[in-house]
Amino acid sequence: MKNLTNSAIDRQNILSNLNAVEDIQKHVGLVGMLLDGEYKFTKKQIVDFYVVDDSTIERYISLNELELKSNGYEIFKGVKLKKFKEEFGWMLGEVNKIPQLGVFNFRAFLNLGMLLTESEKAKALRSVILDIVIDGLNKKTGGSTKLINQREDEFLIAIAREPLYRKEFTSALNLYLEMGNYKYAAYTDAIYKAIFKENAAEYKNILQLEESQNVRETMYSDVLKLIASFEIGIADELKQESGKLNRKLQPKELDNLIDSFTEKRFWIPQIEDVRSKMASRDYGFRDVVHERLKSYIGQLTEDDFQRFLGDKSKDLEERIKENIDVFKRLKDR
């Protein structure tokens, strides 16, 4: 089980999952003060809920101020505090006399609960949070996240176009490389390694895929698009180099060509972006770590959760049914 007190990435991945936050809020049932469409909570309410003293909350706010503020903790003063007091002054007691007031929304309340180690209620809440998040993920994905990539809107187009670019690459290998049939698997792996540092077997092992499963069916659309760019780009360079030499290339020559192709500066931001998305999404959604991409793991965004788990996300079968004509045209091109 993940230790939320130690991992800012794990905390933020939950707090960015707005559907999970809503489910947790219903479960907790903490009553706040509704201001501008959002429930607010004072430090006293936080102290009472987590059963800790005021100084403990102050210490955690001081140590984690940037994180808490990014998730909705605010200091009310001036006009905003005046409005708050006018609406809820009867509930605030002595707080009415102070010139500024720290106010939490529900996300900031959860954020603090993920950090507090002195509170038994916070510890119990962390366990509930993880259960609710896992339950919500299972409901959306049917109990398996291996094909969560297919719920993205752009996946259908990416996977439908993939064979067209793949054919260009394999045809170029056939026509311009002096090597047996092993070349197709070997140089597919070479592209995988250039982009995300793993060959197909390593990738399958990390995601615990069946031997017969097509790895590209589990890849995010961003990864598929970059693989396609590499395949048609290397196919063009292979053809051009073979024409210059007036013969097929040897494997070592193609190795050098791929190294040179990968090191071109315009690939750097694209490769970095794909590595970050793949590492972060697989960690956040599939709970797996690509060891060679570990440094690329970051926080998922609210957009990531909407893209793969939100109302617009759907499984592949449903998308194909809705877009059958488009799908057929792409496959037939």
Q: Which one, of 83, 110, 82, lies nearest residue 98 by Cα?
A: 82
Two structure tokens written together for 122: 């916070």
What is the pLDDT, as a whole number, of residue 272? 97
**CA torsion, ordered 274, 278, 280, 284, to nearest 10 deg:** 150
Close Cβ partners of 191 (under 8 Å, ≥ 6 residues apart):
227, 230, 231, 234, 258
Query: What are the φ/ψ torsions at residue 87 (nearest 5 degrees)?
Result: -85, -35
Domain boundary among 95, 115, 141: 141
Q: Which one, of 113, 90, 92, 111, lies nearest residue 101 by Cα?
A: 92
Structural domain boundaries enclosing 309: 148-332
Q: Which one, of 252, 188, 179, lies nearest residue 215 by Cα?
A: 188
Q: What are the CB-based long-range contacts (under 8 Å, 24+) for 222-226?
A: 222/273, 222/274, 222/277, 222/278, 223/195, 223/196, 223/274, 223/277, 223/278, 224/155, 224/158, 224/159, 224/162, 225/158, 226/195, 226/270, 226/271, 226/274
Mean pLDDT of the chain, nearest integer: 90
Query: What are the φ/ψ torsions at residue 217 (nearest 5 degrees)?
Result: -70, -15
DSSP for 236-262? HHHHHHHHHHTSPBPHHHHHHHHHHHH
In a shared domain, residues 68 and 128? yes
Distances (CA, A) of 162 to 52, 221, 226, 232, 270: 56, 10, 11, 11, 18
Two structure tokens written together for 222: 């961003």
The alpha-carbon radius of gyration of the chain (Å, integer) is 26
| Whether the predicted pLDDT of 317 surpasses 70 | no
Residue 56 maps to a domain? yes
328 pLDDT band, cuts 50/70/90, is low
87 pLDDT band, cuts 50/70/90, is confident
In a shared domain, residues 198 and 275? yes
In a shared domain, residues 323 and 187? yes
Domain count, the chain: 2
Q: Give the model confidence (pLDDT) of 249-284 as tens digits.
A: 999 999 999 999 999 999 999 999 999 999 999 999
| Whether the predicted pLDDT of 314 surpasses 90 | no
In a shared domain, residues 136 and 205? no
What is the rounded CA–CA span in Å between residue 219 and residue 159?
9
In a shared domain, residues 104 and 177? no
Domain boundary among 88, 110, 141: 141
- pLDDT higher at 178 or 329: 178
Residue holding tokens 């219903």?
Answer: 26
In a shared domain, residues 105 and 189? no
Residue 260 maps to a domain? yes
| CA–centroid distance for 145 within its chain | 12
In a shared domain, residues 225 and 127? no
What is the rounded CA–CA span in Å between residue 215 and residue 252?
26
Q: Where are the alpha helices (DSSP H) in the chain?
A: 8-15, 18-28, 43-50, 54-63, 65-70, 78-92, 106-115, 120-141, 155-176, 182-196, 200-207, 221-245, 251-262, 268-286, 302-309, 316-322, 324-332
What is the rounded CA–CA span in Å between residue 214 and residue 146?
12
Residue 59 maps to a domain? yes
| Whether the predicted pLDDT of 95 surpasses 70 | no
What is the pLDDT, as a whole number, of residue 2? 79
What is the pLDDT, as a whole number, of residue 84? 83
In a shared domain, residues 131 and 153? no
Q: Give the model confidence (pLDDT) of 107-159 as tens digits.
A: 999 999 999 999 999 999 999 999 999 998 888 888 789 999 999 988 988 99
State how beta strands 38-42 and 74-77 pair: unpaired
| Whether the predicted pLDDT of 327 surpasses 80 | no
In a shared domain, residues 177 and 290? yes
In a shared domain, residues 118 and 180? no
In a shared domain, residues 177 and 317? yes
Domain boundary among 92, 107, 141: 141
